[in-house]
Amino acid sequence: MKLNFYKYQGAGNDFILVDNREGNINHHNPKLISSLCDRRFGIGGDGMMFLQHREGYDFEMVYYNADGQPSSMCGNGGRCIVAFAKYLGVITKETNFLAVDGPHYAKISASGDWVSLQMIDVDTVTRDNEAYVMNTGSPHYVQLVSDLAQKDVFTEGRSIRNNPTYLAKGINVNFVEPLNEGYFVRTYERGVEDETYACGTGVTAVALAMAKENKQTGTISTPIKVLGGNLNLHFNYDGAQFTHIFLEGPAVKVFEGEVEVGDLAEYTAEEQTV
C-alpha cells in the first residue's frame, strides 16, 4: 500500500501529515509511525498527524510523537494541521477543530502559511524549586537560565525529563533566557526524546511562566525566538487564570509525496467493524 503524505513545519517543528477523512488508514501502529518519522530511514519528523472527519467540527487532529506513541496536544502541529486543512479546502479563514485536549479555534492568513491557534486556558501553575510546571495541552517544565546558546539542552533536558518526579509520565523541558524584547527558548521534547527546533505548547508555557515571574497582568503579548524561527503569544492574565491564549507563527508546507508502507497502514475488514 502507498500512503500519500504531506510534510509541514512550524518554526522548524516538523510533521508528517496524512488526510484520513475517509477513515481507511489504520494509524494505531507505533512501529510504522516511528519508522516514517525516522530522519535516516524514513521521511523524518518530530511527529505525525492524521486529519480526520469529526461530526460537529471542521476536522479532528490525531497526533503521534516521533516515537510512534499517541500524545497530548502539539501547538505547532495544531498550527500546521490548520494550514493543511486550508490547503485541502476543508476551511478558508478560520476553523473550529477537535484535538486531544478539546476544541480549538484558529485563524489563518490568506496566504495560508501564518496561523494563530487558541490554546486551552491555564489556571494551575506549580513550582519545582525555581522552575515553573504547568499543562498547556502538554506538560511543561520551564527554567530560567543564562547563556542559553551554549547550553547542553539535550543532556540537561533529558536528565530532568527522566528524573523520578517525571519519569513515568514524562515532561517537556524548556530553558528560557530573556532578550531585549521577549525571550529565547530551547526545548527538550518528550516522545521525540531530543531537542526540537520549536515547541508550541512549550513556548506557551514559557510566556505564561514569565508573566507570573514578572508579576504582569492584563493583556500580554510575548515574542519568542526559537532555534527554527519566531513565535508570538497573546493572552490575558487576571492574576489567577490565563485565558484567550493565542499561539501565532508560520506553518509551511515543505513537500508532499507517497511512501510504500506494505499492508501495515490498511485496516482489515475485521478491524473496520470493531
Ligand X SMILES: N[C@@H](CCC[C@H](N)C(=O)O)C(=O)O
Catalytic residues: 74, 199
75-88 and 200-213 helices cross at what angle (nearest 10)? Answer: 130
Question: Candidates 68-76, 82-90, 119-127, 229-237 — which segment interacts with ligand X by CB under 6 A?
Answer: 68-76
Is 199 a residue that touches ligand X (CB under 6 A)?
A: yes
User: In whole angstroms, how close is the CB of 148 to ligand X at the nearest point?
Assistant: 18
- DSSP state for residue 148 in the 8-state scheme: G
Which residue in 257, 235, 258, 262 sits closest to 246, CA to CA? 235
- DSSP state for residue 130 in the 8-state scheme: T
3-state SS class at 252: strand
Write phi, then psi, for 192 (nearest 5 degrees): -100, -30
Kindly state the helix (H) or strand (E) to which residue 208 belongs, with its residue range. Answer: helix 200-213
Q: Residue 212: CB partners within 8 Å, gap ≥ 6?
A: 125, 132, 237
For cell 539535550, the residue is 154
Which CB, 118 or 138, lies closer to ligand X?
Answer: 138
Is 75 a residue that touches ligand X (CB under 6 A)?
A: yes
Question: Candidates 19-27, 28-36, 75-83, 209-217 — which segment interacts with ligand X by CB under 6 A?
Answer: 75-83
Is 13 a residue that touches ligand X (CB under 6 A)?
A: yes
User: In whole angstroms, how close is the CB of 229 to ligand X at the nearest point?
Assistant: 13
User: In whole angstroms, how close is the CB of 189 to ligand X at the nearest point?
Assistant: 4
Is 116 a residue that touches ligand X (CB under 6 A)?
A: no
User: In whole angstroms, how close is the CB of 204 to ligand X at the nearest point?
Assistant: 8
CB crowding 66-101: b at 16 or more within 10 Å, else e: bebeebbbbbbbbbbbbbbbbbeebbeeebebbbeb
User: In whole angstroms, how close is the CB of 13 to ligand X at the nearest point?
Assistant: 5
d(CA 136, CA 133) in angstroms, rounded, equals: 10
Asked if 140 and 160 count as a contact pair (C-beta separation under 8 A), the reply is: no
Options 45, 157, 182, 200; binder of ligand X; rule CB under 6 A: 200
Is 195 a residue that touches ligand X (CB under 6 A)?
A: no
Is 117 a residue that touches ligand X (CB under 6 A)?
A: no
Which CB, 52 or 138, lies closer to ligand X?
Answer: 138
Question: Where is the binding site, in residues?
Answer: 13, 65, 75-76, 172, 189-190, 200-201
Question: Candidates 50-58, 144-152, 187-195, 225-233 — which segment interacts with ligand X by CB under 6 A?
Answer: 187-195
Options 20, 143, 201, 222; binder of ligand X; rule CB under 6 A: 201
Kindly state the helix (H) or strand (E) to which residue 174 belongs, with its residue range. Answer: strand 172-178
Q: In the window 214-273, what residues touch ligand X (CB under 6 A)?
A: none
Residue 180 grid coordinates = 531585549
Is 191 a residue that touches ligand X (CB under 6 A)?
A: yes
Options 20, 52, 76, 174; binder of ligand X; rule CB under 6 A: 76
Write phi, then psi, for 156 (nearest 5 degrees): -75, -40
Radius of gyration of the CA atoms of the chain, in A: 18
Residues binding ligand X: number (CB under 6 A): 19
Report the interface residues with ligand X, using CB under 6 A: 13, 46, 65, 71-72, 74-77, 138, 172, 189-192, 199-202
